[in-house]
Amino acid sequence: MSSSSSFGRTIFQGFVIIISVMLAFGANNLWDDQALKIDELESLELVLRDLGDSVEELQDFSTYSKGAFDSALSAYAALSRRAPYDKNTVRADLLRVDRYTLALPASAYTDLLSSGELNIISNRSLRDSIVRFYETAERNQATIERNNSVYIDGQIIPALFERGLILPHFGGDTGSRSMNMANDAIESKLGAGFSHRPDPIWNFPLDSREWRTLRSTLLGAAQIHATGEFTANEMIQEAQRLEDAIVIYLNER
């Protein structure tokens, strides 16, 4: 065999090896790209799930806040007038002015953030919108919790219960399913023949220090619950806009 034929065969074999390596790299890159796309779609679907649950939670929070706002103002108006009082209505309103702890689900976003895989969402605008929503949601939840601690836990609850103005039993709708169940269990355990003592609040006159303090805290509570309702409604709109953007992006993939 001539040396030129051997050289040609060597060149051809080398060329085949190079082509094979390039094809292997290309196939591997194609596989990696496909895997990334699948991971991106799965991550966005999980974010979409959390957003849907968040909207439901925010709607419940908004409804509760509106009810507590209405009750706070109703009790404030009643306790700003002179007798006669509808004691049962006032008592029900006072007991509805309570806290609601807002905790939005964010496991998908938290996982992306903690794993450093947030950039798996290739659409930068969509990625930024997701980050902005959850950063805003975190700040709003912290503000709501701080307001609950300062005004509801720190003022309303002490004014009503620690000073013993009313007894914390409630036979009506508190606006909370779990609280209704707890109150029903208490009444059932005490028995049908049990009678609670009258609320001490009615022993104080309109211009007493106790009523002045209570009226002040009720106005503060009304402001807090109104703010909570407005904040929740704004977040619902933001969550729904983000949901729509994700759905559009997923449908285009």
pLDDT digits (tens, 9 = 90+) for 145-177: 999 999 999 999 998 888 889 888 877 777 678
Q: What is the mean pLDDT of residues 12-28?
A: 49
Q: Which residue did the predictor score with more confidence, 23 or 229? A: 229
Peptide bond into 84 cis (omega under 30): yes
User: Is the per-residue pLDDT at 27 higher than 50?
Assistant: no
Give the pLDDT band of residue 31 (cuts 50, 70, 90): very low
175: left (phi over 0), alpha (psi -120 to 50) or beta: left
Instruction: Return d(Cα 140, Cα 232) in angstroms, integer.
Output: 9
* pLDDT recorded at residue 4: 56
H helical segments located in 80-106: 87-96
In this structure, what are the phi and psi dihedrals at residue 177, rounded to the nearest 5 degrees?
A: -60, -45
Mean pLDDT (whole number) for 23-35 = 44
Percent of the chain residues past pLDDT 70, beyond the cut = 85
Q: Is the pLDDT of residue 252 over 80?
A: yes
- pLDDT tens digits for range 110-143: 999 998 888 889 899 999 999 999 999 999 999 9
